Structures are given as C-alpha cells and as structure tokens.
C-alpha cells in the first residue's frame, strides 16, 4: 500500500512541522516533508486531514485488559477485542501485563501471550489492532506490604530459577519486569534480567532510599506507577519515590486518571521527572470500555464505579483509563501542550522498550504507526503499518 498523508501539523521528534506530507510505502514511512519540497508520486493515494495533527501511535507499557478481556485468561478472540479497543484510543503497541497468580497460571499466560505475539509477527491482522510488543511481568517478586491488588498468597521470594522458568515460558518475550528492589536476592535478579535485555522496573515496593538506589545500580531503568503501591514520600524518610525522582536516567510511569494520583501530584511528578523521563500508562483492566459492574483482574474480582476500580479488599485495582484520555489529562492537569503530552505516550515509552519495531516517532524508515488527532487530543483515525481506518474513523 502506498499513501501520501497530509495534515495541518505533524509532531516530529524535533518540532511541529506545518502542512506536512508523509509518504508511506508497505507499512514504512518513506519520507516526512513539507508539501512544497516533495511531489507525491502518482501511484500514491492522497489522504488529506487539513485541520488535524499527525502523531506517532501511542505505546502502553502496562495493560491488564480491556473490552472485557483479561490477559491472564485471554484467548485469540479476547485479545483481538482488546487490541481493537486499544487502537480506537490511539494505542498501536502495548505490553500485555501479568498479575501475581498461581505459578501454573502465570506460566500458561506467558505461553499464550508469546504465541499471540508470534502469530501476529507471522500473519499481521488485516484490521486496525494494537500490536503486542512483548510482555510486562508484574509480579510475583513484590513486597507483601505494598502488593496493592496482587494477592498475598501468590507472591514469591526472589528466585533466579523461577525467573528462568518465566523467561522460557514466554520464549524470551518479557520486555518489562516489575520487582521490589528491597527483597533478598533482588539485586542479582535485576542484573540477570537486564543482561537478557529486560527493562527492570522498580515497583510494588517498600524500599528505603538506599535500597531503591541499590536496585538502580544493579540495572533497573524504570519505575512502575509512581506513588501507587510504594513507600510514601516523606521529608525524613524519602524512600523509593525520592530515589526515582532524583535519578535522571530512570524513567517512571504514572497513571494520570486523577484517581490513582491527584491532578496536583501528577503536575508535581511531571515537573520533577520532566519531559524526558515521564511515561504515561493506563494499568487498564478488563473493565475498560465496559461500564460499571464486576470484572476479573487475574484471580480477583474488581468492582467498577465510574472511574474507580476496587478489589474486594477495597484497594485500587487497576483502572479504566485510556491512553488518549491520559494525554488530554496531562494537558489539563499540568497545562502542557499537545506535543509535550504526546511525547509521554510515544517516544518516552519507546526508549523504555529500546525496541526499533515501535520507535514512537514519525521519521523516515520508521514503521507507519500513525495517529490523526484533533488539536485537543482526541483520536480521529489510526494507522498501524499497512492497515488504517481513514475512511471510517472511530
């Protein structure tokens, strides 16, 4: 497929490009230029969005489910429904995220998700569906004190042997792994996972400042849902939150729904971590897009009322946030412009993954994962490689 795509503005890695023209051939961006500098070849189909913004596809590093699908139990139909739902909200790449569960359930889920990734690589879907870029292993190496919605009985002591079992079940598809750095043996695990190319994320942790810094020194590069399921920040006991905010090389994700973190604290976090280090995620559950009711999150039941998901223990248990709304919330909470807010859902998570197949930018030679946005941030159309919904929209 050959498409010449134009709009009012294009968000490139460096700047706004006014009146851009993108040439897309066989699912790859062939060029990004101003229209006066290039004439589209006659065999390219011209598609114009004169009042819209072209942006890279969003990347969500933390997705437990959506559209009624929980990734711990998902079959092909459930994952397809989830991926269509994600694409409707601008997500072109995502990490299906596990939850602490019985070991056989985790191993089965990892095998199923790896098979889904492999099938998509061999036979890309002929519809607009987000692409799983790997797996996020959240648990079971977490703090009992800061476990959140992870059932205590399914947490495990740190074990290299168990990590290797997970790695083998996922056939090397684990891209991100959340670990509490204060657990005995965590440093060795972080180093081993990083050696295998896994981005280790500090989270669900009761770590002191020193323990968190030790995890970073061992190779951790990211932090899971800042403030949530973490030792609180205190002026005499700075803990893991201060270590995350004080380490410029560490990325950190935030659930910017106004429920998990107050809007004022989202603004504080964005100011502290900056445009280069902050990442937006959803931590979305199977309830996302489904309305109020009772839904599954791994082995647990969650009750959804409005924007809040609660476990049977009354704890926050994931979200019903979508990533496009998180981008718009950043614009509202912190008064950031669209380009800066989009960066937190595109190039920054791409840097976390360090995966050239989802680069999070619009540039020559990059995969054609492209959004058409309204200037206010709503998703109008989505293109993923060679498939788009330019005719119908959402």
Write out the DSSP string of 235-260: SS--HHHHHHHT-TT-EEEEE-SSSS
CB-CB contact of 21 with 309 (8 Å): no
For residue 36, pLDDT beyond 90: no
Instruction: Say how many CA atoms lie within 13 Å of 385 toward its Cβ.
Output: 14
CB-CB contact of 124 with 93 (8 Å): no
CATH class of 2-55+364-388: mainly beta
Instruction: Say how many CA atoms lie within 13 Å of 316 toward its Cβ.
Output: 21
pLDDT confidence tier of residue 394, bands split at 50, 70 and 90: low
What was the pLDDT predicted at 1?
Answer: 80
**What pLDDT, in 10s, does the model give residues 55-80?**
999 999 999 999 999 999 989 999 99
For residue 30, pLDDT beyond 80: yes
Calpha distance 95→174 (Å, rounded): 9
Calpha distance 166→164 (Å, rounded): 5
CB-CB contact of 21 with 34 (8 Å): yes
% of the chain beyond a pLDDT of 70: 98
Q: Could you tell me which residues come within 8 angstroms of residue 2 by beta carbon, excluding any fewer than 6 positions away? A: 23, 24, 25, 26, 41, 43, 44, 45
- The verdict on domain 58-353 having CATH code 3.20.20.140 is yes
Catalytic residue, chosen from 70, 283, 355, 369, is 283
CA distance readout (Å), 23 to 37, 39, 90, 217, 346: 12, 10, 20, 43, 20
Beta bridge partners of 384: 369, 387
For residue 199, pLDDT beyond 90: yes
What was the pLDDT predicted at 393?
Answer: 61
What was the pLDDT predicted at 172?
Answer: 98
- pTM, two decimals, is 0.97
Where exactly are the structural domains of the chain? 2-55+364-388, 58-353
pLDDT confidence tier of residue 42, bands split at 50, 70 and 90: confident
What was the pLDDT predicted at 37?
Answer: 65
For residue 24, pLDDT beyond 90: yes
Domains 2-55+364-388 and 58-353 belong to one CATH topology: no
What was the pLDDT predicted at 355?
Answer: 84
In b/e form, how buried is each residue of 260-280, taking b as 16+ CB within 10 angstroms?
bbeeebbbbbbebbeeebbbb
Respond yes or no: is residue 340 known to be catalytic: no
């Amino acid at each position: 497929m050959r498409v010449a795509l134009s709009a009012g503005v294009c968000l490139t890695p460096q700047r706004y490009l006014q009146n851009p023209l993108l040439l897309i051939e066989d699912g790859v961006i062939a060029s990004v230029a101003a229209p006066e500098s290039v004439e589209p070849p006659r065999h390219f189909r011209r598609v114009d969005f004169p009042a819209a913004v072209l942006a890279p596809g969003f990347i969500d590093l933390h997705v437990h489910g959506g559209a009624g699908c929980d990734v711990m139990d998902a079959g092909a139909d459930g994952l397809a429904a989830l991926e269509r739902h994600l694409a409707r909200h601008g997500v072109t790449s995502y990490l299906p995220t596990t939850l602490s569960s019985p070991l056989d359930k985790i191993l089965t889920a990892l095998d199923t998700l790896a098979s889904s990734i492999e099938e998509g690589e061999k036979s890309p879907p002929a519809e607009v569906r987000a692409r799983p870029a790997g797996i996020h292993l959240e648990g079971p190496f977490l703090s009992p004190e800061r476990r959140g919605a992870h059932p205590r009985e399914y947490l495990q002591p740190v074990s290299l042997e168990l990590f290797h079992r997970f790695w083998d079940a996922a056939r090397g598809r684990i891209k991100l792994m959340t670990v509490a750095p204060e657990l005995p043996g965590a440093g060795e695990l972080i180093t081993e996972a990083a050696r295998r190319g896994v981005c280790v994320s500090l989270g669900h942790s009761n770590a002191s400042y020193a323990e968190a810094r030790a995890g970073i020194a061992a190779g951790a590069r990211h932090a899971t849902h800042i403030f949530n399921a973490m030792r609180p920040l205190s002026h005499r006991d700075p803990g893991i939150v201060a270590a995350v905010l004080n380490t410029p090389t560490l990325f950190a994700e935030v659930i910017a729904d106004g429920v998990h973190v107050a809007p004022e604290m989202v603004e504080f976090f964005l100011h502290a971590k900056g445009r280069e280090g902050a990442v937006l995620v959803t931590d979305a559950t199977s309830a996302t897009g489904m309305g109020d009711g009772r839904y599954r999150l791994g082995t647990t039941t969650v009750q959804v009322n409005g924007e809040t998901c609660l476990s049977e223990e009354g704890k926050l248990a994931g979200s019903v946030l979508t990533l496009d709304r998180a981008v718009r919330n950043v614009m509202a909470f912190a008064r950031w412009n669209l380009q800066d807010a989009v960066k937190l859902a595109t190039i920054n998570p791409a840097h976390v993954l360090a995966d050239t197949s989802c680069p999070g930018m619009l540039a020559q030679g990059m995969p054609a994962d492209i959004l058409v946005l309204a200037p206010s941030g709503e998703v109008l159309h989505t293109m993923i490689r060679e498939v788009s919904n330019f005719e119908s929209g959402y």
